[in-house]
Amino acid sequence: MIIYPLSQNEIRLILATINRGSPTGTRNHAILETMLDTGLRVSEVANIKLSGLNLQDGYIKVMGKGSKERIVPIGKHVQMTLFSYVDKARPEPFNPNFDYLFLSRTVKPITPNTIKLVFSRLANKSGINRLHAHLCRHTFAINYLLNGGDIFSLKEILGHTTLEMVNHYLHFTSAQIVVQHHKYSPMDRLQETDKCILVKV
């Protein structure tokens, strides 16, 4: 089964539906951009610790499946997004011992179910009905490969134990490569140029 990621226009539309003028909106915007930039699972996002966020070097320490910790890189744009959330919108936690990055309206650690609910509301508001949290993971993986990333580093970022788990993303990227070739085929372009010359003559 071919997985179709969110398009750039769909991502822009979803982001545009978030009201970043409120602390909750700023948080939701930060969650969405983080998931699109890292491919993190919902449970991993909910469990990000503030102490595990390194904005200076651009990475997050994540506790994945099987209680395995890994380092997940983040891009400069998401570094700025997370800095803005922490600096301006993240409230003081209900309990001083709460070290979680993303907090709920009741100033407690956000839950995976809350994140899923956020995505459900974004799907309804944006009209992108196929949107769900795990689609961000697929979208990240496919875009990472299309933008030149390799499957070995992708495996590490996603926290998979084998390459078999990430191989299905290659089917989509292969299909995209075929589409791109049809758009930019050197010989097709040459033939089009020759036809234009003949018409002009």
Confidence at residue 145, expressed as pLDDT on a 0 to 100 scale: 87
| 20 is annotated as an active-site residue | no
pLDDT tops 80 at residue 180 = no
| 59 is annotated as an active-site residue | no
| 65 is annotated as an active-site residue | yes
| 171 is annotated as an active-site residue | no
Catalytic residue among 4, 12, 65, 77: 65
Q: Could you state, in order of their start, the residue ranges of all structural domains in the chain?
A: 8-184
pLDDT tops 70 at residue 37 = yes
Confidence at residue 201, expressed as pLDDT on a 0 to 100 scale: 47
Instruction: Report percent pLDDT > 90 for the chain.
Output: 60
The set of residues, in sequence order, having a beta carbon less than 8 Å from that of 69 and lying 6+ positions away, is 61, 62, 63
Catalytic residue among 68, 105, 134, 168: 134
Write out pLDDT tens, residues 75-111.
999 999 999 999 999 998 877 788 999 999 889 899 9
Catalytic residue among 137, 138, 144, 155: 137
Write out pLDDT tens, residues 42-68.
999 999 999 999 999 999 999 888 778
| 68 is annotated as an active-site residue | no
Output b/e per residue, 163-187; b: 16+ Cβ within 10 A: eeebeebbebbeeeeeeeeeeeeee
CATH 1.10.443.10 fits 8-184, yes or no: yes
| 12 is annotated as an active-site residue | no
pTM: 0.84
